[in-house]
Amino acid sequence: MTQPMTLTDRAALTRHRDRARRLPGHDEALFLHRLALADLQERLGEVNRRFTAPAVVTGFPEVFRELSPAKMVSDDDLIALETNAHDLVVHAMSLHWTNDPIGQLVQCRRALTPDGLFLAVLPGGRSLQELRTSLAEAEAAVAGGLSPRVLPMGEIRDLGALMQRAGFALPVADSLVQTVEYRSFPALLSDLRAAGETNALSGRLRHFTRRSVLAEAARIYASSYSTPEGRLKATVELVVLTGWAPHESQQQPLRPGSARARLADALGVPEKPLPKDG
């Protein structure tokens, strides 16, 4: 029986990350990860609670170990977290590569103690929209077809719905959008390579991209997404997901019809009955 094709080639992803760590621009290329780290630290600082058993799921422990004394866990398909063992679980800049995002969220929720906090930060659907468009148009024009090149990233509404499906209480999803500028198209591609974010899709082409495709993509990018100074704009969206492991102390929605005050009284307006049909 044939196994269903997975989205991410995990072996290729591991190779790309290992290669990125050996490249000279690796630390600078992780600027988005440090932005995500700063956002997480700010959010945790606003929570009136001291976490005693935190864990961080990430492929980039070199950045997120600053959330110490958290336990660092690899972002494998099966996460090495014990059930009910942590009062805080953070999934940091790796959820977009998972083959089973709902499964990852469920594993994180099960690892939380009751009323434990979950935070995830990952690139959202608007990230690299200029690059995706340029590559698609270039490949269609030069090669007459499309191949999987840029990871499809989740929209904020869909990611928020996944939190509900995973069983988190009080789920919230919000995002931060920034525009990054590059001096050239090769500089953008080099930055992605140094960050370990190059193509690791299972359905990717197994040969080098034709130079003519990249040249056309660079031309389209420059003509459509350049600044007046000639630099290339790249959109980055960081989505942050927040949720809690269910607990009886948390606020619960009221049952329909159980309200004790009228909306008209709260608004200070007279209550008018709806007109009858006919």
* Alpha carbon separation from 196 to 20, 43, 63, 154, 209 (Å, rounded): 5, 26, 13, 19, 18
Closest to 76 (Cα-Cα) out of 112, 54, 103: 103
What is the distance between the alpha carbons of residues 186 and 150, in angstroms, rounded to a whole number? Answer: 16
Instruction: Indicate the pLDDT class of residue 147, thresholds 50, 70 and 90.
Output: confident
Residue ranges and CATH numbers for the domains of the chain are 10-247 (3.40.50.150)
Q: What is the pLDDT of residues 66-88, one digit of tens each?
A: 887 889 999 999 999 999 999 99
3-state helix vs strand vs coil in the chain, percent to 5 = 40, 20, 40
Work out the pLDDT band at 1, boundaries 50, 70, 90: very low
Amino acid 235: pLDDT: 96
DSSP lists the bridge partners of residue 122 as 239
d(CA 67, CA 54): 9
Where is pLDDT greater, at 20 or 151?
A: 20
Taking the alpha carbons at both ends of the chain, their separation in whole angstroms is 62
Q: Residues 73, 57: contact at Cβ < 8 Å?
A: yes
C-alpha–C-alpha distance, residues 120 and 39, integer Å: 11
254: pLDDT strictly greater than 60: no
pLDDT reading at 5 higher than 60: no
